[in-house]
Structure 1
Amino acid sequence: MLGLITILTLSLTGGAAVADTGTAWQDTRRPVKDRVERLLARMSLDEKIGQMTQAERGSVTADDITRYRLGSVLSGGGSVPTPNTPEAWADMYDGFQRAALATPLRIPIIYGVDAVHGHNNVVGATIFPHNIGLGATRDPELARRIGAATAEEVAGTGLDWDFAPCLCVARNDRWGRTYESYGEVPELPSQMSSIIDGIQGHRLGGSPTSILATAKHYVGDGGTAGGVDQGDTRLSEAELRRVHLLPFRAAIKRGVGSVMISFSSWNGVKLHGHKYLITDVLKRELRFSGFVISDWNGIDQIDGQPGFTPEEVRTAVNAGIDMFMVPQEWRAFIDTLKAEVRAGRVPMSRIDDANRRILTKKIELGLFERPFTDRRYTRTVGSPQHRALARQAVAKSQVLLKNKGGVLPLDRRDNKIFVAGKNADDIGNQSGGWTITWQGSSGPITPGTTILEGIRQTAGRSSTVTYSKDGTGIDGSYKAAIAVVGETPYAEFEGDRPGAMGLDAEDLATIERLRASGVPVIVVLVSGRPLDIAAELPKWDALLAAWLPGTEGRGVADVLFGVTKPTGKLPSTWMKSASQQPINRGDGQKPLFPFGYGLTYRK
């Protein structure tokens, strides 16, 4: 008997008996393809559909994972263990993984999270600048290093799949996800897709901190009419390919392991049911060999009615989606897909193709050999090294747009500076959406250095820094006033701005109080997109676009004081007025500042 039990199973592809011995798919000496085929031959329909199902952590138990053979779990934005610490995340993950390994075939789960600017759901993690700021750096190597640092922090909490990067090309700044785009032209997200090399490493599974990256959202979500989130991208195929497909082509060349489908439509057809774009273009033409994941309940939008139907399920599966993010309704999805397969409306060849793709990535990641958290990396979450990298990224992302009379850089010695504005001393505001919670929030939501704290740390001991949120208390004795103003946190759904795009009344009143003192006014704009400020700009002496810098606000101060010269260049055309939207490079409109604009210091 050689100590092994020969097991006969039925092949669901043809009904014939397939002989296999032991757990040959766990033999690392075998080629990955061979391991996948041996495992697939042992799997029942229930196990195969389980692998295609992703449930949200708040709607699933360990017993559910074992019973339903679930292949994946995710944390939605703000869905966290209690307490929200790296150790608690690792404990949660390991508990779910033990449940997966209690199944007969011991197939591990893969756990996904939106670590879109650092491991941003975890209190204490390093929060890097959002993508729009990284696009301003024009530095693909910096993006790669950020990807590697993020992967370290994610791996340190046990998780092995990052729903990043977002490779959208944002063509209308009204869109509430503009800050998730590296820029308005396809070349920028294509170049910055280097972050995938950092997330996955030189080879998927080649190190303990290699995790799966996700190119999203396929395809065209940044080009919707009116900048409406989840709207309709009305373009010819040639234009869709020229603008929106190029970054995905670059990501596939880098070996990205997964692709997430967009909520949006192309010329009226929802992407989640678009077989031509998913199977014909992505998988066949571009030769994407990883697996395709739906977005949150994305299949529910195919027919425009609440609640997914059997027709929506089979349409999405047959279109080429391999794994389904069905956060709460995962049981209904399993039952529906099983019925569709048994009725012959979804072929077993499609189920097997999806499983081959998913199992291949799980094996390549080494999940069968290393299923649990490597606790050596838990301490890297929010480490000084990662925060130093984030500070560098913040400084490189700053775009100096105006500097009348050379008011910047500020002198660090014997200076007297007044700081005001609602975003000056607020980690939540400067980090934006997708920080601790889905939409983000104002206040001290996670450890870090606010822009005000950074200014105080950078100013010399002989200098005075005074702060008043609304600007009251300033007088003519100050040498400069810094107004840190702009947007407060938002994410999709909440972030679209169909109307005015200027500063709010609170910001304008704060700036006016500073101006009334006669002191030179420097505006630091914290925002996820260009804002409509042309009418106000002549009243300001300097303007610095800080974007959404994250937790390391001292990087902003580094530029204000000339510790680092400003080198950032606009990743998006800056409108003269909101009425110009959409405005992009080469469209014939005259902007306030063109794409690629950015000043620096002479000395």
Structure 2
Amino acid sequence: MKKAARRWSLLALALVLLAAGLTGYVLWSGGDSGSKPYQDATRPVAERVADLLGRMTQADKLGQMTQAERASASASDITDFRLGSILSGGGSTPEPNTAQAWADMNDELQRGALATPLGIPILYGSDAVHGHNNVRGATVFPHNIGLGATRDPKLVQDIGRAVAEEVTGTGVDWTFAPCLCVARDDRWGRTYESFGETPDIPAAMTAIITGFQGDKLGGGPTSILATAKHYVGDGGTTGGDDQGNAELTEAQLREIHLPPFKAAVDRGVGSVMVSFSSWNGQKLHGQKYLVTDVLKGELGFTGFVVSDWNAVDQLDGQEGFTADEVATAINAGIDMVMVPEKWQEFLTTLKGEVDNGHVPMARIDDAVRRILTKKFELGLFEHPMTNRAYTDSVGSAEHRALARQAVRASQVLLKNDKGVLPLARGGKVFVAGKNADDLGNQSGGWTITWQGGSGPTTVGTTILDGIREVAGPDTTVTYARDGKGVDRSYRAAIAVVGEKPYAEYEGDRPDGLRLDDEDRQTIANLRAAGIPVIVVLVSGRPLEIASEVPGWNALLAAWLPGTEGAGVADILFGVGAPTGKTPMTWPGAKAHEPINPGDGQPALFPQGFGLGY
């Protein structure tokens, strides 16, 4: 009777704590908290993992290896199927899309995990690739190509720490970042996800992993799991074809594409995501040599390997999971499978392959051991619920100031005839271009939705708003998107042009990278006034502009700056001096794509180029 009464007392206490919002306490279905070795935070992680693994059924283990999309799995599904992870695809958000709603959603799903017999928390993953960019109102930092232009690993580490705070405040504990691809062909739609076209820049920028995770995983209240992606060679596909074929010798693969991943492993990155692409005709998700022998063996990676979105289903080129695909991927070394919608089918298939001996139980145990280790290291068993102390950090003034600093540091001055820049305050300045007053365009893809979108998609400062702020009250700033209405009474005209948002696949440009007709006409309208024309190029990659640059007085590469457009204005008006250097080579002509250092192709601007004031 005493034991039963104690259990009822614990239940009553739990209900009081939940009602009070103290959801950081773990409620173990087995009874006394800490009554089993794996629940004892004072024990070594390896000991806790071994104890928990020994208590798990086959269903528990296979569930840990399965990641479902939030729209396709409920809290009760997590309980019933022992799911180990949930993710948000690009644009998959709670309603309303606020930090508070994210926190509430995550806590609900986590309660489903804690209701399982062993109470194993889930990992929630999201593509926080340039800020917590799925959440409206979050701080959106420059995309990686802009951060690569800063050549500042310390700044990038600080950004990682800020992003981790915002992610933590929404209950997410795993970001699918950083992308460590070495983009070798600018026509590839993911070029902006690359820090640079040579391995030294992405390797240096793995400092962001330390920002995400801390000096060690779980070493602080905002430590989140980082992901080095996409392993390996996705930036080297022929023709810049997304999910294409990297036709490279092993020596080339190791020289160009592997070093950033070695740097990530050396920093203790907790997870690695495998690329959709192929190496010499074989999909990476089936490459046991690269995943198990090289990554886990040679590089010594001790975290877990996760697949990309439904990528296991691409191994045979046919739609629908097959037993052979599942067995091949797991035996190749994939530890967790991202299978957004058909996760029940995957679980059934994987169970069959284990039961018939095609996937050894030792491989399953290795995968689950790796996953559980990271969950213990993160402290999820002790603090599974959202740390609401950081919810208000989402979009905070402090983080926006850091983002503005990053925007300033990322600007690359490519041309400045007769010192037209920086602009003095006072007089009249004309601003034009489709990207001048468009927060969505300047933020690019992977902002609120997968492909991104034009318009006021989130909260921030457009480049035009920044110009008005920085130019000050003594400067008359006139804006017309098409550049019409300008005359010689204006001291200068600023054309903010370039690309509209896109992401992987839809961003491939095999036919070239020219400015569109609207941009060219806008610039022509400004030039007709006979005043200095300054072009600010908002783009996710170098564009083919060699024939047009001679007619421009100044050219500033702004990349995809994110929500803090005032950082661009800071450089235009001399609040800061341009220090950025090109992380990519700019082609002299369309025929010169792809172009990279040392390949003999004539460059408009070489990698590392950047003027100052």
TM bin, normalised by shorter chain, reads over 0.9
User: Deviations 1:317-356 (Å, cap 9, x if unpaired)?
Assistant: 0000000000001000000000000000000000000000
Q: Does 1:34 align with 2:47?
A: yes
1:546-557 to 2 correspondences below 5 Å: 546-557=558-569
CA deviation after TM superposition for structure 1 residue 415, in Å: 2.4
1:353-392 to 2 correspondences below 5 Å: 353-392=366-405
Distance 2:462 2:472 in 1: 17
Distance 2:191 2:382 in 1: 40
Amino acid at match of 1:286: L
Q: Pick from 411, 420, 423 the counterpart of residue 407 of structure 1.
A: 420
1:237-248 to 2 correspondences below 5 Å: 237-248=250-261
Distance 1:462 1:240 in 2: 55
Partner residue, 1:71: 84
Q: Pick from 445, 451, 475 the counterpart of residue 463 of structure 1.
A: 475
Stretch moving more, 203-212 or 479-488: 203-212
Paired residue secondary structure (2:145) = helix
Cα contact 2:168–2:391 (8 A) shared by 1: yes
Paired residue secondary structure (1:36) = helix
Amino acid at match of 1:229: D
Q: Does 1:509 align with 2:521?
A: yes
| TM-score normalised by structure 1 residue count | 0.96
CA deviation after TM superposition for structure 1 residue 593, in Å: 0.6
Paired residue secondary structure (1:596) = coil
Cα contact 2:538–2:558 (8 A) shared by 1: yes
CA deviation after TM superposition for structure 1 residue 460, in Å: 2.4
CA deviation after TM superposition for structure 1 residue 22, in Å: 4.5
Q: Pick from 503, 522, 528 the counterpart of residue 540 of structure 2.
A: 528
Q: Which runs of 5+ in 2 are unaligned?
A: 5-33
Distance 1:62 1:590 in 2: 57
Paired residue secondary structure (1:418) = strand
Amino acid at match of 1:282: L
1:294-313 to 2 correspondences below 5 Å: 294-313=307-326
Partner residue, 2:553: 541
Runs of 4+ displaced beyond 2 Å: none
Q: Pick from 81, 86, 108 the counterpart of residue 121 of structure 2.
A: 108
Partner residue, 1:53: 66
| TM-score normalised by structure 2 residue count | 0.94
Partner residue, 1:258: 271
Distance 2:94 2:36 in 1: 34
Partner residue, 1:192: 205
Partner residue, 2:592: 580
CA deviation after TM superposition for structure 1 residue 3, in Å: 7.5
Paired residue secondary structure (1:392) = helix
1:326-365 to 2 correspondences below 5 Å: 326-365=339-378
Q: Does 1:430 align with 2:442?
A: yes
Distance 2:540 2:383 in 1: 38
Q: Does 1:203 align with 2:203?
A: no
Amino acid at match of 1:28: A
Cα contact 2:187–2:512 (8 A) shared by 1: no
Distance 1:184 1:300 in 2: 30
State the identity %: 70
CA deviation after TM superposition for structure 1 residue 306, in Å: 1.0
Amino acid at match of 1:211: I
Q: Pick from 93, 96, 99 the counterpart of residue 106 of structure 2.
A: 93
User: Deviations 1:426-448 (Å, cap 9, x if unpaired)?
Assistant: 00000000000000000001110
RMSD of aligned C-alpha atoms? 1.2
Paired residue secondary structure (2:258) = helix
Partner residue, 1:597: 609
User: Deviations 1:384-404 (Å, cap 9, x if unpaired)?
Assistant: 000000000000000000001
Paired residue secondary structure (1:592) = strand
CA deviation after TM superposition for structure 1 residue 23, in Å: 2.1
CA deviation after TM superposition for structure 1 residue 308, in Å: 1.6
Q: Which runs of 5+ in 1 are unaligned?
A: 5-20
Partner residue, 1:17: none
Matched residue pairs, number? Answer: 584
User: Deviations 1:402-459 (Å, cap 9, x if unpaired)?
Assistant: 00111000002x2210000000000000000000000000000111000000000000
